[in-house]
Structure 1
């Protein structure tokens, strides 16, 4: 059917350009976050985001001078979301507090890959807002350890160790998932670990996981670290 008088025909598959001045910085961040959630940070590009917004690429550059500047804004948004999602644990002894906290820490990143991409794989400390959120959370978490008797230096090292361990488990699990490799391949390995030449490994295969980052692996490592901190705390109390 031909267009009526005053109308123009829109070609199939071509999106209608939105009105001038209808774009905002907040909408750009929201739509960019949608793309990161649907794909990944590495797949995000300014032309792809422009198509998602229904604007020209130059319209985005009025608000963000580069993709790096946009990523910094997304990291800040991710830090805010992470802070909102993470529960606040109160009323627990320091060791149970750490267990609950880092289990939740890991779960948030596992269930929200976009937050993992933006916080774990990027540099959140480049954002002043993200720094403030991280420091406020650290203030709360370190106080639990200091109140239990840990010196500040040891409390900070304890948090950093468990944080790096937890993030490492999340990333290792994601690497294996992205590669399509199974984490539980004990049967395949059983034929390699011959009891005569590898007596220890032939027994260890029963507890094996290729990623070293399954739920059981994470819990075992978390327990080992916290029990070690308990011994450290006992020494600190004895010296005090």
Structure 2
């Protein structure tokens, strides 16, 4: 029985090419037409590797998600630090993560590490899963802000100073007495680090 022509690429090669496009030019630049052009193949041939772009995004998130042991053990602070570094290396990830159909070994390995960190908390399973989802959302939001600052060429301190100036202008009207009271307690503290915010959030989620 005659056999068809062997595929020109492997699925990991196609996914790696998609990651390269998204890393270089953003998620909006990743179209099946652009990917086919970069691979030197026809658009329709891509559908022999993936069902659609949604599956391609699932595979991209999985493929970049290998855990780096340099980030330490299975404590939650190490895990969110790893997530932040991963998202900074691949700036398209915060936008790609919502509603993903994830279940590969890298994604499940991260989930397992998170559950190990939570195993002695006494929390029920659904609460543990919710905490991990909330932490991922926090990291994605934080990185999105970091990337926006970098594009605008501003620092944390400059952003905070601008925000404080707007708040001070607002409270001078007398319409926000509680906000005015808080602002009067001081606005010159340096912005907290990612680690400090993450540690506070983790403590709050665990009831600490």
| Pair in the same fold by TM > 0.5 | yes
Stretches of 4+ aligned residues off by more than 6 angstroms:
none
Separation in structure 1 between the aligned mates of residue 187 and residue 71 of structure 2, nearest angstrom: 38
Pair member with larger Rg: 1
How far off is 1:42 after superposition?
A: 1.0
How many residues get paired? Answer: 194
Root-mean-square deviation (CA), in Å?
A: 3.6
Higher RCO (CA < 8 A, seq sep 6+): 2
C-alpha deviation, 1:36, in angstroms: 1.4
1:170 aligns with 2:158: no
User: TM-score with structure 2 length normalisation?
Assistant: 0.69
The two structures have a TM-score, normalised by structure 1, of: 0.61
- Pairs within 5 Å for 1:138-217: 138-179=111-152, 182-185=155-158, 186=160, 188=162, 193=168, 197=172, 198=180, 200-201=182-183, 204-207=186-189, 216-217=192-193
Segments of 5+ residues of structure 2 without an aligned counterpart are: 173-179
Q: Is 1:228 aligned to residue 204 of structure 2?
A: yes
- In 2, are the aligned partners of 1:82 and 1:115 still within 8 Å (CA)? no
For the residues of structure 1 that align with 2:99 and 2:193, how far apart are their CA atoms?
Answer: 27
Which structure 1 residue ranges, 5 or more long, are not aligned?
Answer: 1-19, 210-215, 234-240
Equivalent residues in 2 for 1:113-124, closer than 5 Å: 113-118=91-96, 120=97, 122-124=98-100
Q: 1:138 to 1:205 in 2, by over 3 A?
A: same
CA, structure 1 residues 166+46, in 2 after alignment: closer, same or farther (shift >3 Å)? Answer: closer
Deviates more, 1:48-57 or 1:32-41: 48-57
**165-174 or 70-79: which moved more?**
70-79
1:190/1:202 contact within 8 Å kept: no
- Asked if structure 1 preserves the Cα contact closer than 8 Å seen for 2:22 and 2:30, the reply is yes
